[in-house]
A = this chain, B = another copy of it.
């Protein structure tokens, strides 16, 4: 059991300069002094104790969330993108391209424009509302809609990257996982060791792969004396790693993990086996319950997909060892998805109250 970080013995007594992921962890990353670092000072996100969730488990278990929604563009994608854009710039790219409508396109646009590159987003015609892309557009993304489906868009972005001075920053970009692994470093830096369990949402399976890379690298360097069990959670309607077969039409309200055929399938299986971990599925109802619990008991507002890590932990809570330390990864900020918040907030709204002290006191239950 590690000491809780809400009052750690080693807590800072002042704010320290944080130079972003690449500066902080450059000895663990494929960069050189010549790499032009494009950074928004991403990373260094808080590891927040969640005592109400720990209490539901009991037996002295400590639970923290790694709140990566507090990265500059609102998701963990910034960790990978600072690496991908810095390396693209180093390689002389003039533009970057991805086929994405969510957190990836926002992160790609922000970092590309900061680095002086043009960010392109390729999507199928009629596929997405402007509202979903507003953040990326405001950062300066140029969005191209083709008369074809998502697979065709993916093929074209690959071809573009091959024939023009354009770097592909989709999940196939190898530098993204390098950046993402730093979240594991930060957890170890703050806890003093690795947690017993790491609970993490799994869609494309890149992030679970990246965390494991990070824990293993720190372990080899002697920065932690143990490795966590990697507990991956998928949405029930999009859980190919649980069922063992691709899902042709994945369905879940947790759109960030609505993926039927994960890009990092093989790697994720290897992570599970090496860490004695598991993949489990959680229903949309369980995800929403965790989403509301995090907000209304812990004060933490995350994307629905993020809440699957907490939903999963609560689902298998009886198997958490006594006194264990558990970290749940929250990948995105709840502000990214206002529609779900509006749809699923409890109705605690009372109107038509007389403008008098007594009437208001009565409405409040005093």
Q: Are B110 and A349 in contact (CB under 8 A)?
A: no
When distances are taken between beta carbons in the complex, the residues of chain B under 8 Å from A185 are: 14-15
A344 in the interface (beta carbon within 8 A): yes
Q: Are A145 and B352 in contact (CB under 8 A)?
A: yes
A319 in the interface (beta carbon within 8 A): no
Q: Are A11 and B15 in contact (CB under 8 A)?
A: no
Q: Are A341 and B135 in contact (CB under 8 A)?
A: yes
Specify the chain B residue showing the minimal Cβ separation from A149: B355
Q: Are A360 and B19 in contact (CB under 8 A)?
A: no
Quick one: CB contact mask for A199-242 with B, threshold 8 Å, 1 for yes? 00000000000000000000000000000000000000000000
Q: Are B344 and A297 in contact (CB under 8 A)?
A: no
Q: Are A19 and B14 in contact (CB under 8 A)?
A: no
Determine chain A's interface SS by DSSP, over half rule. mixed
Copy count, this protein chain? 2
* Other-chain residue from B18, B46, B144, B342 in contact with A353 (beta carbon distance below 8 A): B144
Specify the chain B residue showing the minimal Cβ separation from A14: B189
Quick one: CB contact mask for A38-81 with B, threshold 8 Å, 1 for yes? 01110110111000000000000000000100111110000000
CA distance A37 to B11 in the complex (A): 15
A111 in the interface (beta carbon within 8 A): yes
Q: List 6 A-B contacts (CB under 8 A).
A: A10-B16, A12-B16, A14-B189, A15-B185, A18-B44, A166-B364
Sort A-B residue pairs by CB-CB distance and give the 7 closest, nearest first.
Answer: A148-B355, A110-B299, A114-B299, A335-B335, A137-B345, A41-B46, A140-B296
A-side residues, CB < 8 A to B, are 5-8, 10-20, 23-24, 37, 39-41, 43-44, 46-48, 67, 70-74, 95, 109-111, 113-114, 118, 120, 122, 125, 130-131, 133-135, 137-148, 152-153, 156, 159-160, 163-164, 166, 185-186, 189-190, 292, 295-301, 333-336, 338, 341-342, 344-346, 348-357, 359-361, 363-364, 366
